[in-house]
Amino acid sequence: MQREGKVQTVCADSVGKERVANHTAGSAARSPLFLERFEMNPDIQLRHEVFAQLNWDPAVFGCDVDVRVTDGVVTLRGQLASEDLKNAVERAVRRAEGVKRIVNQLTTAECANND
């Protein structure tokens, strides 16, 4: 339940002058100024979605994976215990909406032992 009342929003325009807008409580979140100012970068949103998938999947929960996203391309880095775990991480990342491509640079302890 939202409380009714006035909320004052102050935004600086491109020349540094402040504009003041009065909104009722709750409407600030829907105003164009608010949305324009706080819209999240799509790559950051995708990175959050990838981490959500990794945290949701019990097969890979707690794995130490470095995730980087550039223009929808997800790069995975880190060392995992097995090839099965590496494949499970990639499957989890594929479930994230907006992934254009996956660059899997994950290594496994099995590979390190074979060298």
Q: Are residues 21 and 52 in the same domain?
A: no
Q: Which of 41-45, 78-82, 110-114 has the lowest mean pLDDT?
A: 110-114
Q: What would the two tokens of residue 41 be? A: 């970068």
Flag whether pLDDT at 1 surpasses 70: no
pLDDT in tens, 17-29: 545 554 445 544 5
Evaluate whether residue 1 is within a structural domain: no
pLDDT in tens, 40-68: 799 999 999 999 999 999 999 888 999 99
Q: What would the two tokens of residue 15 be? A: 């020349």
pLDDT of residue 78: 95
Q: Are residues 52 and 76 in the same domain?
A: yes
Mean pLDDT for the stretch of residues 1-14: 48
Q: Are residues 95 and 59 in the same domain?
A: yes
Question: In angstroms, what CA-CA distances link 80 with 35, 46, 77?
Answer: 40, 22, 10
CATH of the domain at 46: 3.30.300.130
Q: Are residues 58 and 94 in the same domain?
A: yes
Q: Are residues 64 and 95 in the same domain?
A: yes
